[in-house]
């Protein structure tokens, strides 16, 4: 199949106002995906006939978000060339990190002038999800409360985190408030790579390489980090073997 093949079916509900902008994280080196990333960036690795980047952008557009900011670093020219062939209906801006890889947190800080001052969606381009009964991005938007939240993460139960090798990331209380997995313990929920963040989370933060985990910890300490559960399929597509397993499961569905 072509990398521009028809995307999998997406059900755009519940009906909720969605963020105006999505940040798609696509600047990583993709070391675990080698040799597939020897000549192409990880977001351009194909799963089920479509690139990981296109899977993510398809869902952003289907949810009703009109603009996406995509950061680039490794093999940035290839990513930019690919983005020029995207179908209409989504305004795409590039945040250039060619000079220095800024990791997840620093990459967002650099892109903030393009993102704006309203809450925004963030999507990791190396994860793949299929919506269940509702569109997961719109479900996040319906739950997000800017008065009480700085971060709202889409989570999947560890038992349904396909191709994932970790012990889980978070615990969640009855209100959806998050806490971290303790060292050497298990946690029931895994982060899917999809979230809504408030720009206030980045107030006073310098444009330096750092992980978004640092700001999550601040939000958790303040009681302003929340989660909701994804009810569809989710795949941690981090290795060549995971690509094959994800494709087999998608084919069986």
pLDDT, one tens digit per residue, over 50-86 is 999 999 999 999 999 999 999 999 999 999 999 988 7
Residue 182: CB partners within 8 Å, gap ≥ 6? Answer: none
Structure tokens at 80: 């930019």
- Is 12 a member of any domain? no
Whether 242 maps to a domain, the answer reads yes
Three-class SS of residue 190? strand
Could you give the number of structural domains in the chain? Answer: 1
Residue 155 reports pLDDT greater than 60: yes
pLDDT digits (tens, 9 = 90+) for 200-248: 999 999 999 999 999 999 999 999 999 999 999 999 888 888 888 888 8
Q: Is residue 2 in a domain?
A: no
Instruction: Tell me if 234 sits within 8 A of 240, measured CB to CB.
Output: no
Query: Is 60 exceeded by the pLDDT of residue 11?
Result: no
pLDDT in tens, 158-206: 999 898 888 899 999 999 999 999 877 899 999 999 999 999 999 999 9
Q: Per the domain annotation, does 8 fall within a domain?
A: no
Estimate to the nearest angstrom the gap between the alpha carbon of 120 and the chain centroid.
Answer: 12
Q: Are 96 and 72 in contact (CB under 8 A)?
A: yes
Range of the domain at 59: 21-252
Quick one: pLDDT at residue 7? 43
Spatial distance between the Cα atoms of 218 and 201, rounded to a whole number of angstroms:
8
Look up tokens 């985990």; give the residue.
213
Residue with tokens 């093949």: 5
CATH of the domain at 118: 3.90.550.10
Fill in the DSSP letter of residue 181.
P
CA terminus-to-terminus distance, the chain: 17
Residue 11 located in a structural domain: no
The residue whose two tokens read 């680039």 is 72
Cα Rg of the chain, angstroms? 17
pLDDT the model gives residue 24: 97
Is the pLDDT at 41 greater than 60, yes or no?
Answer: yes
Q: Is residue 7 part of a domain?
A: no
User: Which residues partner with 22 through β-bridges?
Assistant: 68, 121
* pLDDT for position 211: 96
Q: Is residue 3 part of a domain?
A: no
- φ, ψ of residue 246 to 5 degrees: the values are -65, -45
Mean pLDDT (the chain, rounded)? 89
pLDDT, tens digit, for every residue of 111-142?
Answer: 999 999 999 999 998 889 999 889 999 999 99
- The H or E element containing residue 67 is strand 67-72
| Contact criterion met (CB below 8 Å) for 170 and 191 | yes
Q: How many CA atoms lie within 13 A of 165 on its CB side?
A: 6
Nearest to 92 by CA among 48, 58, 126, 63: 58
Question: Furthest-apart CA pair in the chain: how many Å?
Answer: 48
In this model, does residue 98 exceed pLDDT 70? yes
Look at residue 4 and tell me if it is in a domain: no
Q: What is the torsional sign of CA 204, 207, 209, 212?
A: positive
- pLDDT interval class at 15 (50, 70, 90): low
Token pair recorded at residue 247 = 């494709």
């Amino acid at each position: 199949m072509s990398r521009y093949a028809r995307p999998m079916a997406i059900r755009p509900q519940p009906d909720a106002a969605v963020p105006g902008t999505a940040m798609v994280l696509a600047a990583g080196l993709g070391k675990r995906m080698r040799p597939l990333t020897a000549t192409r960036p990880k977001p351009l690795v194909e799963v089920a006939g479509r690139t990981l980047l296109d899977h993510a952008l398809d869902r952003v557009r289907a949810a009703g978000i009109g603009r996406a900011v995509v950061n680039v670093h490794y093999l940035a020219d290839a990513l930019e060339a690919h983005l020029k062939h995207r179908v209409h209906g989504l305004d795409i801006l590039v945040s250039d990190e060619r000079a220095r890889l800024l990791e997840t947190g620093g990459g967002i800080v650099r892109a903030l002038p393009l993102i704006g001052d309203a809450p925004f969606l963030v999507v990791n381009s190396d994860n793949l999800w299929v919506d269940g009964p509702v569109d997961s991005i719109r479900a996040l938007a319906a739950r997000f409360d800017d008065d009480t939240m700085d971060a709202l993460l889409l989570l999947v139960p560890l038992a349904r985190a396909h191709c994932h090798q970790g012990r889980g990331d978070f615990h969640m209380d009855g209100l959806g408030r998050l806490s971290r997995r303790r060292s050497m313990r298990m946690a029931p929920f895994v982060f899917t790579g999809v979230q809504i963040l408030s720009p206030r989370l980045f107030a006073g933060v310098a444009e330096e390489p750092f992980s978004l985990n640092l700001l999550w910890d601040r939000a958790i300490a303040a009681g302003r980090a929340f989660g909701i559960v994804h009810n569809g399929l989710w795949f941690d597509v981090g290795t060549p073997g995971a690509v094959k397993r994800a494709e087999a499961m998608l084919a069986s569905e």
